[in-house]
Homo-oligomer: A and B are copies of this chain.
Amino acid sequence: MAGKVFFSVSMSLDGFIAPDSPEELMGTQWRELQQWVFRQRHFRENLGLGKGGEEGRDNDIVTETFERTGASVMGKRMFDAGEQMWPEQAPFHTPVFVVTHEEREPWERPGGTTFRFVGDGIESALDHARLAAGSRDVRVAGGGTTVVGYLNAGLIDEFHVAISPVLFGSGIRLFEGVEDSRVRLEQTGTESSTRTTHLYYDVHVR
């Protein structure tokens, strides 16, 4: 049976997933947004930050999200930012398909992450990712424009948003440009931890 197509992001209460410029990524706000992830054991070990970290429900969520993912799709801007920031052992450990107009040979990293560059659109990138993922799920990793592109195309089955208790005031919004006329949401679950609230939705196309 084919897997699901999903996304999973951390969002501020006012709807932002990142600051306007990558230089701000290490700022206080961004850390507040992501701190429920950064402190988890799975996240720290996966990025090679050493042993240790929390092991509660938030860690389970990070681990489950990683384990269900057989392949990822991402936009070029997210890849460009990540190319500078990921460690040599990029944290995906699966095939990753980058939607881009730039032609480029596959980029294989130690640890099982291979980036492939797809020039003929988001549907094609998803087809590649589905094939690579087999029975596991495909994660649309980001950024916001790519997530909204897949949402508007009716290609997302379900998603998880962790709403962190922080207000950005400005930055890159998750749902900018979403076509409300296309997308109907069904709330399927909620759970809160000390640092964030996890919301789960199924997506139905109107």
Contacts and interface: CB of A to CB of B under 8 A. Distances in A.
Interface residues on A, range: 20 to 34
Contacts of A178: 14, 167, 169
Contacts of A199: 13, 163, 197
Interface string A165-206: 111111001110111110101110111101111010100000
Label chain A's interface by main secondary structure. Answer: loop
A169 B180 contact: yes
A29 interface: yes
A194 B190 CA distance: 10
A179 B196 CA distance: 21
A15 interface: yes
